[in-house]
Structure 1
Amino acid sequence: MKTFRFVGLALLLCSSGLSVAQEVSRTAHGVKLEVPGEKFSCEVQFYTPSIVRVVKYPQATMPEEKSLAVVLSPTEDIKFKVNETDDAVILKSAAVTVTLDKQEGTLSFADLQGNALLTEQGEPSFKPYQEGADKGYYRVCQAFRLDKDEAIYGLGQLQTGKMSQRNQQKYLIQSNLEDSSPFFQSVKGYGLYWDNYSPVTFTDNADGTSFDFEVGTCVDYYFMYGGNADGVIADMRELTGQVPMFPLWTYGFWQSKERYKSQDEVVGVVGKYRELGVPLDGIIQDWQYWGHNYLWNAMDFTNPLFPDPQKMLDDVHGMNAHMAISIWSSFGPATKPYRELASKDLLYDFKTWPASGTEGWPPDPEYPSGVKVYDAYSPEARDIYWKYLNDGIFKYGMDAWWMDSTDPDHLDFKPGDLDQKTYLGTFRKVRNAYPLMCVGGVYDHQRATTSDKRVFILTRSGFVGQQRYGANVWSGDVGSSWENLRKQVPAGLNFSLCGMPHWNNDIGGFFAGQYNKSWNDGTAPKNPLYQELFVRWMQFGTFTPMMRSHGADTPREIYQFGKKGELVYDAIEKMIRLRYTLLPYIYSTSWEVSHRQSTFMRALVMDFPADKQVWDMSDEYMFGKAFLVAPVLEAQYTPETVLKVDEQSGWNRDNAGKAGDETGTFDFTQKKSAPVYLPEGTVWYDFWTNEKLDGGQEFARETTLDLIPLYIKAGSIVPLGPDVQYATEKPWDVLTLCVYPGADGDFTLYEDEFDNYNYEKGAYTEIPMTWDEASRRLTIGARKGSYPGMLESRKFIVRTPDGKEKTVNYTGKKLTVKL
């Protein structure tokens, strides 16, 4: 590395009274310090004015390994100043000040006004592995000092129910229910990402905040100062990758269950929705379309109940719906992919799902499945994976992938399992990046195959950077309980605060067994206890980036819950229709996510950081920048059963039939109430009644079974679309623009061809809209851009909460509406 000496020698007194020479050198992007006593070297590198990389290493030279998550390289022309005192080196860019202590090698970060942001606490710890599979590496730890009342967010998606991640010790390793990323951001407007993929213990207590990684070569973290949560997310995406656009249809309603057992059943479900006139855009085929478990994930329709996959896809497409299909990170020993991967030593030798080769429950240990996970870190293995996926399924016109077990499943875990060799070293060394690699392999290969169909991947696990791979992560096989519903809100918000905006969960919970009299007798939709939970979960799911009903033990289709005119059925249909009405708002928000680094599910602290009431609020959030969502998360009509269930006990069905008495009489027509807090600093409108309310207050909102409390922030402009059966059934030639006065506001209506990558070449339109509160004027600006087949003209119905309404014809030229 080329260095430039800019400082002489500084003399420091050691305990022995001897002088020690310090050496500080200027590098192309920062400085390098050799800490006295030959303890370690420290390099500080500016990647952008607001993103700083810190590397500390005990070796003679800095380790150089290609990052799996980071895609950004340091910019050559970053301007920063370097000053040196006897005790410290001070680096200042246009965004942040970094102070490096020359004696201890510790760093502190501040904004340009000198306000302290984050400080390292003590020296790093490097504990070398003297033997074993990771010999030559270190266990690495670095601690930091946070303010006592400082709230932090992130760490991936956890099932702890916590919003702020303070005051806990948490072992972070990928699993069915939890997605781990060594990242957090602070209410002070900075973020910290550690570029390490091994399991890690995160600790926050009175002694400090630390990441203790099981294996690594060095301390290697990125400090980013965005000024606020959106700025941190923008830095994180610049560092680890931007978000591609999803097809419009992916934001419609999805139906699924464990599992449709024939292609006739799949097609029949879509047909039933069309017959009932209930909107639907996606149907998902879960596992075993390949047959028995020895053929696990064969990527072929070897099950005789799926005799003509091309006809199945054609039938689904003929009803203007789309289909996703389950694929896994593992293969049964009788499959073609297994045999090719095994011949190249690209399979791992630890126990994974399913345990037995025979169908039925419980698993028969006399007939082990022999299923093995593949080495997704290997480029050759990823090529093989796509070859069979392309030849066996994609060729039929499959629209999307449901990549299950991307954690991957790891049964009967033994510490030695992490000694497995991968293409990139031991499994321990790269464990948490497994979902990033296997999901990225499918995305990259499909993008190389065609640009006519946008990649859409529903997957069970995520790691920072995965947002660049067209992935929507769901929260795993959560049990059907009110407690688990409550946990999903902070789980999705913290995941989003890591820079990964597409998240969803199984509406109704995956394991509904406790609401059935016995396993899989399908009684849950008739059980009032489950009906109430499902309706409230559906209302929450309406305001997540993917609205998907799915689960085991019982069917989840709307018609299983009754029929039109019945309260539960109507409550479910009401939310599905609302979702489709909001598609212009949702799709335009998607563009804000991709183009301007925004976020769908926004913790209230993102938009109201000055209101300390919301710093640790885990039961409300913004959906886009207009809607405040306050889902009903407690039972109001039925007993709230408490159930402890994880993915293993759920699969064992130990909890079937323990939900309580479902034969009681419950009156769903009664009016109830739910607590709501409206953040201070703005005016709010009740979405359902248009009642105007001041922020900074908590109150009880009257609710009914079919009503979720929703509020719109003053200054918002919300476009409402047509009544449709699927997302693209009707053009947006007549849109209602709901304008909520009380503050200035703006919105950009975005449109493109909805399902290809031509938008990357500029084939899209933006229609900017601004509301001026003082003059009560809505300005609809000149249309920007164009694409084939775009609407040349349309009608806008402009409406305010007080009932005022005007209809205007828009031809792409600027116009103003006075209200």
Structure 2
Amino acid sequence: MRLFTLKYFTIHSLTCLVIALLTCLVISTPTLASSGNYLNHKLADDSVVITTDSVTVTLSAYGESAIAVHYQNLEDKLPASHLPSFAIKENAHNSKFVIKEDKDQLTLTVNKLSAVIKKTPFAISYYQKNKQQEDTLLIAEQQGFFRDTFVEEAEKIAVQGFRFHLNDTEKLLGGGERVLGMDRRGHSFPLYNRAHYGYTTQSEQMNFSIPAVMSSNKYIVLFDNSAKGYMDLAKKEKNTLEFSAIAGRMAYIVFSADTYPKLLNNYVDVTGKQPLPPRWSLGNYASRFGYRSEAEVRNTVNKFIDLDFPLDALILDLYWFGKDIKGHMGNLAWDKNAFPEPEKMISDIKEQGVNTILITEPFVLSTSGKWQDAVESQALAKDAQGKAKQFDFYFGNTGLVDVFNNKGQQWFNNIYRKLYQQGVAGWWGDLGEPEVHPSDTLHTLSDGSVVNADAIHNVYGHQWAKMVFENQLTMSPDQRPFILMRSGFAGSQRYGMIPWTGDVSRSWGGLKPQVELSLQMSVLGMAYTHSDLGGFAGGEKFDQEMYIRWLQYGVFQPIYRPHAQDNIAPEVVFHDKRTQDILREYIKLRYNLLPYNYTLAYQNSTTGMPLMRPLFFEQQFEESSAQAVKDKLENKANLTAFDNASSYLWGDAFLVTPVVSADVSSVAIDLPVGVWFDYFANKNEPSKKYQGNQTINLPTSLERLPVLVRAGAFIPMNDDIQSTQDYDASKLTLHYYADDSVATADYEMYEDDGKTYQAIEKGLFELLQFSANQQQQQLSISLIRKGKGYSGMPKERNMTVVIHNITQAPSKIKLNNKVIKTGLWQEKSNTLTVTFAWQHQPITLTIQ
């Protein structure tokens, strides 16, 4: 069974050159190349084009506070310097600069962000205006860009990049998927998407690079370059951020804001927002490497149902198109021996509430049934002679679909179209780094230009996702696409990409970095980043405790998808009764929380706010004076929350601390300000209350995940269901966590039909707005419905309102000032439950 460990581990010999090349980059000492002296500037639409005696620099403003900068060298240009921006969303609209000029400098301002351009020698510094309208330096170029060369196989390779000044104390997140700790200052790493099989607590290079950093000083710098390169975050040289690439655009974008959530909002306004996923994608998945027959698929689905486990999707790995691991990749057609009636199978399990997702890879083996067709259709990337590029890797001799080429897209899309017509509901794009991508592979872009693999390696998965996304909408314009992929680029979220953290070790070491990985990706737009629950790679025997802890954590993770090599079953239904009994309650809770989780998806799609949120998002510096700004920059403000990868916020209500070690009886938790309740307290006793802004030790057991809920939180929930196919919007349980410390609280729940594409943009939704007001001996909870609604929206809701921390029986309960008798106070748990029918008129529940 250890054969499976080779699936993603084998590296083609040419890929090894990448590592050597990147090592050269890291140890190379760059030479600053002056960007010359300012000569003139002009307006081109809303952009400003500056000419110096060395470069042309184009600055464009986007959104509220984003400035994009594109350098074009007047002398030797890097290969593929003509490439477009892959990071900036399609049809992005420029904002207008306010322009000021004197003899020494040119200042371009959009909202509170200014680019101050020193004329001689040319360089750009970026300032953010604070509440006192004073300019605070965020980051500054070190004399424009630099050039360097290194020697590879007797050939000089040119690189160019940017260097920026950092201040002494700021912390930096970014770079995408790496396991380096939350604050990545002091690290240098390659920008080259590459699988790291079986990683645990350290990894400098993984599947999904994002060439960007977020600073504790509330700015983001995104390097808008798709080529092989690297970033150095003040490791090589103190207080210097460095980016370099061997090809592509020399461009970057600076974003700024007053708060971290607003900063992320500004980022996704430019790079694109994640479309709302189908509601079923928030449910439970059955997945393994892999189901080998139609009978196994049917038996697995039935076992979930028989054992009372909700299920919404089943994912088929590569055995759907071939009985062996090797030799079949590229067939992309059902193996009829193993799956004799795939359309009926898909239809039958769909009736049981289960959607079918298929793996697809971009590699077409020369031994596959579609090789000749792919060659004749000119669907594959080419070699220098214009023939289909062939190379060897673990799965066999292969070519690579050219997803940049119109012919490659058409060929691939035709395959997706046939499978979609058979009933397939979602797509899994695997090996999309691409896992093996020889440097001399040539890709043809839509404009007819040809570039080598190194120039666009990091956007292969990004382009693949775009192709699948647009093709899906062509086939079914009203249906939300589902696209699971492990590799992409800045802005991939706008194509509905759902990434995962690669082939993690099935061990405690594999579990430990998962919060860090998801948070790092989430703060740069990829909010659905999640892990193979339970771990993927290796494992000699079933570790019950580790497995349970990982799947408990998954309840508060964007996608609930256990997946692994099948020497140990990844599905809970194939384990012992105790494991099942513990995890059944958690998986059912995942479904109970659908109204809350779906609202998180809505918040992400409208603002970029992640589902999993780092604790420093709670930490908003009060910039009430110039001294406060100075204190922040001198690190007198507390920045320790930036280092916290132990706990995170699931939405606004929950504080989650996964258990990532064996035999743990309590966990240390740094509480944000406010009052917090133990969410998993015994139902027959009041939830223990903790004052925030301190570190506590919260008891835990194998049955109990450490989760706290914020005082003043509303949590909408629904009843148990077998799948989201049974979701009933006409019933709603609304929990409210009352406390004297919270005088007022507000919450907005989003609801639609769960499937219509662009429901938000089309206005096909409703918003249920809940507010609480607590004064002395009276608590009022108001309910208001807004929005034009959607097909199937309930005309009336059966409401169950559960109010926590009610320490004595109420003397009177009123509904719109009419006394009602439906309240039930539980002395043991200090909860009050009130039921009533709501016809969506404004209504107020008053507790006295």
Q: Shorter-chain TM-score category? A: 0.7 to 0.9
Structure 2 CA distance for aligned equivalents of residues 290 and 218 of structure 1:
39
Task: Choose which of 671, 677, 680 in structure 2 pairs with 1:685.
Answer: 677
Structure 1 CA distance for aligned equivalents of residues 84 and 161 of structure 2:
21
Matches within 5 A, 1:326-725: 326-343=359-376, 344=378, 346-347=380-381, 349=389, 351=391, 353-355=393-395, 369-391=396-418, 393-410=419-436, 417-424=438-445, 425-513=451-539, 515-516=540-541, 524=542, 530-552=543-565, 553-563=567-577, 566=578, 568-610=579-621, 611-636=638-663, 672-679=665-672, 681-689=673-681, 690-725=687-722
Counterpart in 2 of 1:785? 788
Change over 3 Å in CA distance of 1:59–1:406 after alignment to 2:
same
Matches within 5 A, 1:318-329: 318-329=351-362
Counterpart in 2 of 1:55? 70
Task: Choose which of 170, 194, 209 in structure 2 pairs with 1:150.
Answer: 170
- For the Cα contact (< 8 Å) 1:768–1:782, is it kept in 2? yes
Change over 3 Å in CA distance of 1:134–1:194 after alignment to 2:
farther
Structure 2 CA distance for aligned equivalents of residues 217 and 196 of structure 1:
6
- For the Cα contact (< 8 Å) 1:331–1:371, is it kept in 2? yes
Counterpart code for 2:614: A
Structure 1 stretch displaced more, 82-91 or 464-473:
82-91
Q: CA deviation at 1:588?
A: 1.3
Q: CA deviation at 1:117?
A: 1.4
Q: CA deviation at 1:197?
A: 0.4
Tell me the secondary structure at the aligned position of residue 433 of structure 1: helix
Counterpart in 2 of 1:3? none
Q: CA deviation at 1:796?
A: 2.1
Q: Deviations over 1:604-640 (max 9, x none)?
A: 1122245533111011111112111111111117xxx
Percentage of pairs with the same residue: 25
1:108 aligns with 2:125: yes
Q: CA deviation at 1:446?
A: 0.9
Structure 1 CA distance for aligned equivalents of residues 545 and 69 of structure 2:
50
Structure 1 stretch displaced more, 746-755 or 85-94:
85-94
- For the Cα contact (< 8 Å) 2:88–2:272, is it kept in 1? yes
Matches within 5 A, 1:107-126: 107-112=124-129, 113-126=134-147
Structure 1 CA distance for aligned equivalents of residues 708 and 392 of structure 2:
45
Q: CA deviation at 1:241?
A: 1.7
Task: Choose which of 301, 306, 314 in structure 1 pairs with 2:339.
Answer: 306
Q: CA deviation at 1:82?
A: 2.1
Counterpart in 1 of 2:32? none
- Unaligned ranges ≥5, structure 2: 1-35, 197-205, 383-388, 446-450, 622-637, 682-686, 806-830
Q: CA deviation at 1:231?
A: 1.8
Tell me the secondary structure at the aligned position of residue 383 of structure 1: helix
Matches within 5 A, 1:65-214: 65-71=83-89, 75=93, 78-112=95-129, 113-127=134-148, 139-160=159-180, 162-177=181-196, 178=206, 179-205=208-234, 206-214=237-245
Matches within 5 A, 1:242-253: 242-253=273-284
Task: Choose which of 207, 210, 219 in structure 1 pairs with 2:250.
Answer: 219
Task: Choose which of 250, 256, 278 in structure 1 pairs with 2:287.
Answer: 256
Provide the aligned C-alpha RMSD in A.
2.5
Structure 1 CA distance for aligned equivalents of residues 57 and 486 of structure 2:
37
Counterpart in 2 of 1:266? 297
Counterpart code for 2:720: D
Structure 1 CA distance for aligned equivalents of residues 247 and 422 of structure 2:
43
- For the Cα contact (< 8 Å) 1:782–1:814, is it kept in 2? yes
- For the Cα contact (< 8 Å) 1:170–1:201, is it kept in 2? yes
Counterpart in 1 of 2:308? 277
Aligned residues: 726
Q: CA deviation at 1:21?
A: 7.6
Structure 1 CA distance for aligned equivalents of residues 92 and 427 of structure 2:
34
Structure 2 CA distance for aligned equivalents of residues 691 and 93 of structure 1:
48
Q: Deviations over 1:92-138 (max 9, x none)?
A: 23221221111122211111221221112233113479999999x95
Structure 1 CA distance for aligned equivalents of residues 766 and 785 of structure 2:
10
Structure 2 CA distance for aligned equivalents of residues 25 and 130 of structure 1:
39
Tell me the secondary structure at the aligned position of residue 122 of structure 1: strand
Structure 1 stretch displaced more, 224-233 or 584-593:
224-233
Counterpart code for 1:740: Y
Structure 1 stretch displaced more, 504-513 or 371-380:
371-380
- Unaligned ranges ≥5, structure 1: 1-18, 356-368, 517-523, 525-529, 638-671
When normalised by structure 1's length, the TM-score is 0.84
Change over 3 Å in CA distance of 1:134–1:264 after alignment to 2:
farther
Tell me the secondary structure at the aligned position of residue 746 of structure 2: strand
Counterpart code for 2:803: T
Tell me the secondary structure at the aligned position of residue 292 of structure 2: coil
Tell me the secondary structure at the aligned position of residue 250 of structure 1: helix
Change over 3 Å in CA distance of 1:350–1:740 after alignment to 2:
farther
Counterpart in 2 of 1:13? none
Structure 2 CA distance for aligned equivalents of residues 196 and 151 of structure 1:
23
Tell me the secondary structure at the aligned position of residue 384 of structure 1: helix
Task: Choose which of 260, 265, 283 in structure 2 pairs with 1:229.
Answer: 260
- For the Cα contact (< 8 Å) 2:37–2:121, is it kept in 1? no
- For the Cα contact (< 8 Å) 1:188–1:227, is it kept in 2? no
Structure 2 CA distance for aligned equivalents of residues 89 and 229 of structure 1:
28
Q: CA deviation at 1:769?
A: 1.7
- For the Cα contact (< 8 Å) 1:687–1:711, is it kept in 2? yes
